[in-house]
Amino acid sequence: MDESATSIESDYSADELGQYRSLETLTILAFALGLLSPLVLISPLLVFVPFAAAGAGCLSLLKIRAAEGNLTGSRFAYCGVALAIIFGVATLARAQITHVFYQQQIHAVVEPWLENVCQARYGEALNLMSPPAVTKLRAQASALSEVMFFQKRLTAQELALDISLRLLTEMAESKKIPAVVVVDFEQMDSQVTDYSDGKRADCIYEIANNRGEKIRMAIKLVRLSNASQAPHWRIDQWQLVQD
């Protein structure tokens, strides 16, 4: 009789032990950080959140496995890791897509600007430049620039005096054989940076013609936005790059 009671009590204790396994606390942290991982889509500065979620989740799974059934919470850990991976990959993909998108926007501004300079259409080139860049040229022009009729023409003439841009114009001139000069523009590198006053881009272009002449130019752009226009890029500075 005593042996039977002892056996039942032993079985009951084993069942109770199986029902009340401890919850690994790191699994809750991993799950919570996983739920916060979408914040990285709002601000790239929070990129540490999905990494922390994945790290906490993996560490908690290792602890649960090492505990040999005495710890639980693996589902929370798996959910946290899954959310971290999903939003981490989404952030990387978004950054790459944004970079390509900005590259295309920048090229759509720089190429016609370089084309206008090569063809000595300096007045049209001014339309693709930032207000500070145009204002700087205007300040260098004569006092007649105060008259609206002369303002753009004199500013364009000042732009034509720039040594770097004059080299571009000479590359497209057909003084030598062959008479038809073809100029190509290739974007070698570009980088977009966030500043307190907006986005800025630094890029390097290689300009080459069919006479074998090549030069490289570093170009800085600013992204402008106002109530009447969608955000758009404009040329702000430029300089030749020495090989």
State residue 170's pLDDT score: 86
d(C-alpha 41, C-alpha 26), whole Å:
24
Q: Which residues contact 53 (CB under 8 A, 6 or more apart)?
A: 30, 33, 34, 36, 37, 80, 81, 83, 84
pTM over 0.75: no
For the chain, the domains span: 15-97, 98-241
Q: What is the pLDDT of residues 151-169, one digit of tens each?
A: 677 788 888 888 888 888 8
State residue 83's pLDDT score: 94
Q: What is the pLDDT of residues 114-139, one digit of tens each?
A: 999 988 899 899 999 998 888 888 77
- Dihedral over alpha carbons 21, 26, 30, 35 (to 10 degrees): 70
Q: Which residues contact 26 (CB under 8 A, 6 or more apart)?
A: 56, 57, 59, 60, 63, 77
Q: What is the pLDDT of residues 16-34, one digit of tens each?
A: 444 556 888 889 999 999 9
Instruction: Give the pLDDT band (50/70/90) at residue 181.
Output: confident
Q: What is the pLDDT of residues 53-89, one digit of tens each?
A: 999 999 999 988 888 878 888 899 999 999 999 999 9
Q: Which residues contact 64 (CB under 8 A, 6 or more apart)?
A: 24, 27, 71, 72, 73, 74, 77
CATH fold for domain 98-241:
Nuclear Transport Factor 2; Chain: A, (3.10.450)
Task: Indicate whether 176 pLDDT > 90.
Answer: no
Q: Which residues lie across from 234 on neighbouring strands? A: 222
